[in-house]
Chain A
Amino acid sequence: MSHNGLVSESVVAALNMELISYVVVRHTLRGEDSLIDNSGNEIELNIHKGLEGLGLLVGLRLSERLLYRQPSFGEWTPPGVSQFVARQFWKTAFGKRIDRLMHMNDIYFCLIDKNFQWLQGFPKMRGERIVSTTVLSAYGYSGETVAEDEGASPRTERLGSVPIHKDVLIYTVGILKGLIRVMYPTGSIEIHANLNNENETQFVLDFRSPTA
C-alpha cells in the first residue's frame, strides 16, 4: 500500500494550533521579563511578526510543492492567483474549496470561508465585534509592518499566553503572503483577514496599487 500523500485534517489543524501557541507563548513569556512600560504593545508586535514570519516560511515552501505541478508560464494574473488560492491552496491546507469567491473588477478579491477549520476550537464571535488583521505587503518584504487595529486593546483582548482569533488569522495571512509572493513577485498586493459577527472568515486579496 503506497502512501497517497494525504493525512487527517484534524491532526494538521492541531499541529498548526500548536505552532501558533508556541509563538505566542514564546513572546508572552519573554515579554513578562521586560521592564518597558508599553510591553503589552511590544508583545503584540513581536507575536505578529513571529506568526507572520513562520507563515511566510510555510507559504514559500508550500508554493514550491504546489507550483511545481502547475503548467503555467510567466507571472500569474490576479484572477489566476485568487482562483488558485480558493481551490488548490484551500484543498491542500483545509481539505475543501473556499465557500465563496467574490471579486471587484478583477483587482480586489474576497475569499469567504463560512466555517474556517482553524477557528473551530475558538469561541464564537458575538454582537458587533469583528476581528481583523491588517498586513501590508508591497514590493518585497523590506519595510513591511504590522499595523495595530485602531481601538484594539491588546491587554483586554489577550489573556495570558492563550492564542486568540487574530493570531490564527495573522498566521494564515502569512502563509498566503508566502504562497502568493512566488506567484506574483513584482506586483503589489495587500492581504488581510476578517472574522465577522456571522462567524464567516474573509480573506481579502487586494491587488490595487498602493496610494503613495
Chain B
Amino acid sequence: MSAGALNFSNEGEKAFESGDKVSAEFFAITYGALVQQMVADLVQEEDVEVVNQQLDAMGRRIGSRLIEEYSVRSGVPACRTFAQAADAVALVGLRMFLNVTATVEPLREVGTDAFSIKFAENPLALFVELPEGPLRERLWYSNVICGVVVGALGMVGFLAEATFARDMLRGDAINEILLCFKGREKETFQIER
C-alpha cells in the first residue's frame, strides 16, 4: 500500500469513528425490506433489471447527499486525478459510511481510466440468501452502492460509471465493483475562499 493510500485509509477510519453510528443489522434489515418490496412490485417477475436500475437511482440520490458530509468530515483534500478519486471512494468513502475495508487497483486496459474495488464484507448482505433463478442470476443486490459512488462523484465533477463485476451473494469469492471514469465536468461557478 502506498503512503498516499495509507493516509487515505487512516482518514477513512477516523471519519467513521468520529461520526454517529447505528446497528449494521438494522441497516441490512431495512435495505432487505425495501429490495423485497421492489421485487414484489415488479409487473413481470423476470424484469429483475428494473430493480437494479431502481437501486442505482436511489443510490445516486443518497450519494449526492452524503458527499456534503464527506467533504466536511473526511479531512481529505479535493481529488485532482481519477486515481485519487478512486482511492477516496474505496479507502475513505466506503470506510466512513459503510465501515467496509476495501482495496483498489487500476485495471490494466489500454485507453481506460478504470479501477477495481474489492471488499469481502458487505453490511447490506447480512442475513441474505438469493433464491436460485432470475434473482440470483440477474439481481445485483447491493447495486445501491454503485449508485452512491456515481452520485457522490458526480457532485464533485467526476463523470463515472460503477458496476458490480462479482458478488459473493452469487457465489463469487469476493465483491468487486468496477469504477470507470468518463471525464470531468467543467466547473461552472466559483467558490469564494
Q: Of the listed stretches B24-32, B153-161, B184-192, name the one at the interface; the rest are far from the partner chain.
A: B24-32
Complex CA gap A115/B21 in Å reads 16
Contact present for B33 and A58 (CB under 8 Å): yes
Contact present for B62 and A96 (CB under 8 Å): no
Q: Does A3 sit at the interface, judged by CB under 8 A?
A: yes
* Chain A min CB distance to B21 (Å): 4
Contact present for B19 and A15 (CB under 8 Å): no
Contact present for B20 and A10 (CB under 8 Å): yes
Instruction: Indicate whether A7 sits within 8 Å of B30 (C-beta atoms), given known contacts A14-B65, A18-B62.
Output: no
Q: Mark B131-151, 1 if CB is under 8 A from A, else 0.
A: 000000000000010000000
Instruction: Indicate whether A54 sits within 8 Å of B20 (C-beta atoms), given known contacts A14-B62, A14-B66, A62-B25.
Output: no
Contact present for A7 and B34 (CB under 8 Å): no
Q: Mark B23-50, 1 if CB is under 8 A from A, else 0.
A: 1111101111110111001000000000
Interface centre among B21, B61, B101 (most CB of A within 10 A): B21
Contact present for B96 and A1 (CB under 8 Å): no
Instruction: Indicate whether A58 sits within 8 Å of B30 (C-beta atoms), given known contacts A3-B99, A7-B123, A8-B97.
Output: yes
* Chain B min CB distance to A49 (Å): 13
How many residues of B are in contact with the other chain, CB < 8 A? 35
Which residues on the A side are within 8 Å of B34 (C-beta)? 15, 18-19, 22, 54
Q: Does B113 sit at the interface, judged by CB under 8 A?
A: no
Out of A1, A4, A7, A54, name the residue touching B22 (CB < 8 Å).
A7
Out of A3, A15, A26, A95, name the residue touching B30 (CB < 8 Å).
A15
Contact present for A95 and B27 (CB under 8 Å): no
Q: Mark A157-200, 1 if CB is under 8 A from B, else 0.
A: 00000000000000000000000000000000000000000000
Out of A11, A54, A94, name the residue touching B66 (CB < 8 Å).
A11
Which residues on the B side are within 8 Å of A23 (C-beta)? 37
Q: Does B16 sit at the interface, judged by CB under 8 A?
A: yes
Contact present for B97 and A19 (CB under 8 Å): no
Q: Does B5 sit at the interface, judged by CB under 8 A?
A: no
Contact present for B61 and A18 (CB under 8 Å): yes
Out of A5, A8, A10, name the residue touching B25 (CB < 8 Å).
A5
Q: Mark A82-93, 1 if CB is under 8 A from B, else 0.
A: 000000000111
Q: Does B69 sit at the interface, judged by CB under 8 A?
A: yes
Q: Does A46 sit at the interface, judged by CB under 8 A?
A: no
* Chain A min CB distance to B142 (Å): 12
Which residues on the A side are within 8 Å of B61 (C-beta)? 18
Report 8 cross-chain contacts, Cβ distance below 8 Å, ordered by A residue: A3-B99, A6-B22, A6-B23, A61-B32, A62-B26, A91-B22, A92-B25, A94-B22
- A-binding residues in B (CB < 8 A): 16, 19-27, 29-34, 36-38, 41, 54, 58, 61-62, 65-66, 69, 96-99, 101, 121, 123, 144
- B-binding residues in A (CB < 8 A): 1, 3-12, 14-16, 18-19, 22-23, 26, 54, 57-58, 61-62, 65, 91-96
Can you add 13 more A-B contacts, CB < 8 Å, to A7-B27, A92-B25? A5-B25, A8-B19, A10-B19, A11-B62, A12-B30, A14-B62, A14-B66, A18-B62, A22-B34, A22-B37, A57-B33, A65-B29, A95-B22
